Amino acid sequence: MTERVLVVGGVSRSLINFRGPLLECLRERGHEVLAAAPEDDNAAVVRQGLCAMGIELHAVPMARGGTNPVRDLTTMRALRRLIREHRPTTVIAYTAKPVIYAGMAARAEGGVRFFPMITGLGYAFTEGHGLRRRVLQRVVRGLYRRGLAGAETVIFQNPDDQALFHELGLVPERAKSVRVYGSGVDTHRFPRLPLPDAPVFLMLARLLADKGVREYAEAARRVRAIKPEARFLLAGPVDPNPSAIGRDELERWSAEGAIEYLGALDDVQAALAESRYYVLPSYYREGTPRSILEAMATGRPVITTDSPGCRETVEHGCNGMLVEPRSSKALADAMLEMLRMPGDAVERMGEESIRLVRERFDVRRVNESILAATGL
């Protein structure tokens, strides 16, 4: 049965980079597809790309950070208006604000099947102290409860988030709950790349404290004191999030030689090709980090934390190492251990990364699971 499907994202570029294969698959199955996202810096290019796929992009006002009630009310009203005008039969939303406000809008308009995808919980669910974070946690949990109230099936990317949402009573009793292996990675777009011999580490992430950026910089200092030939690349955009890393810190790390900051990259292939090891020391409550999957697809051994979302990507000692979150010492120790490994052992880890991607994280497998969960 042909349906009209509205897909809502929080960043326009993600509709192509993360959800492009899913949108194409929906179109191939004969569904009419609409997309919605904020009118951000990339929206014009994304609109052209989606148009070539036969998909119209609708602009929805949406502030990425914070919980400003006036701005968020504007977002929900815009989504209600969009649903009322185009009458989708199904709404799929991913990331926090699209899930919350598209869920509220779909329920308010009625007659719409709603499928939220929980792609990570972020700052509001990260362990931390302080009144501000406690208040934010309470507010965001209440919003999720309202946003998910009309969901038919809630789709998670890791078992920790799935268990937490059920424990907090955020998933309505009548809704199904399923888990898929992240957003998936396109192995054609991210093919195997030769491992260079040079001892180069790479971290790709939004520049947030909770992503483990400071631990990465401190671990780099520790490792370079023993292995001064090691290099540590860092790429990613500066972020408006409350836990963002400031430019002054970046400049200080670069000046002392601990980190080589590459800026925000539109294409990460060159950085991956230059690296021998991939690192993401996040404790941000990831869904399943896309950057790790991309690195794995190219054949990189991975060092990441034993924390929700990250731990699902690494079999310790097989395709990489899991380390204690928030510990620059544990991270440095793992880096040094990797540097001391024989070359063939590192190569084997890279091959295991490729195997795991093909078995679990290939975007085609993931999309089949999503389409099965939504009945599309």
CATH of the domain at 122: 3.40.50.2000
Same domain, 166 and 204: no
Q: Are residues 83 and 53 in the same domain?
A: yes
Name the percent of the chain lying above pLDDT 70: 97
Tell me the per-residue pLDDT of 206-232, one tens digit each, with 9 for 90 and over.
999 999 999 999 999 999 999 999 999
Mean pLDDT, to the nearest integer, of 309-323?
97
Structural domain includes residue 66: yes
**Same domain (yes/no): 170, 225:** no
Query: What span, in angstroms and rounded, lies between the C-alpha atoms of 173 and 255?
Result: 54
Q: Which two tokens stand for residue 122?
A: 């972020």
| pLDDT at 64 (0 to 100) | 73
pLDDT tens, position by position, 125-175: 766 666 777 788 888 999 999 999 999 999 999 999 999 999 999 999 999
Q: With respect to residue 368, please indicate whether it lies within any of the assigned structural domains.
A: no
Q: Return the ∠ at Cα 48 (arms to 47 and 49), rounded to 5°.
A: 90
Domain that holds residue 268: 200-361
| Domain annotation covers residue 56 | yes
pLDDT of residue 137: 83
In a domain, 188, yes or no: no
Q: Are residues 23 and 161 in the same domain?
A: yes
pLDDT digits over 190-204, tens only?
999 999 999 999 999
Compute the average pLDDT of residues 264-277: 95
Residues 239 and 341 in one domain: yes
For residues 207 and 192, give the distance between their C-alpha atoms in angstroms, rounded to a whole number.
27
Q: Is the pLDDT of residue 29 over 90?
A: yes
**Residues 213 and 168 placed together within one structural domain of the fold:** no
Q: How many domains does the chain have?
A: 2
Beta strands in the chain (DSSP E): 4-8, 32-37, 56-59, 90-94, 113-118, 153-156, 176-179, 200-204, 231-235, 260-263, 277-280, 302-305, 320-323
Spatial separation of the C-alpha atoms in residues 243 and 63, rounded to whole Å: 16
213, 338: one domain: yes
What's the pLDDT tens digit per position in 60-88? 999 876 667 778 999 999 999 999 999 99
The verdict on residue 231 lying in a domain is: yes
pLDDT greater at residue 120 or residue 293? 293
- pTM of the full structure: 0.92
Do the beta carbons of residue 269 and residue 275 sit within 8 Å? no
> In the prediction, which pLDDT does 127 show?
65
Residue 193 belongs to some domain of the structure: no
Indicate if 264 and 205 belong to the same structural domain: yes
Between 181-185, 244-248, 255-259, the lowest mean confidence (pLDDT) is in: 244-248
Tokens of 321: 């190492």
pLDDT of amino acid 129? 63
168 and 22 both lie in a single domain: yes
Mean pLDDT of the chain: 94
Q: At which of 179, 208, 232 does a domain end?
A: 179
| pLDDT surpassing 80 at residue 247 | yes
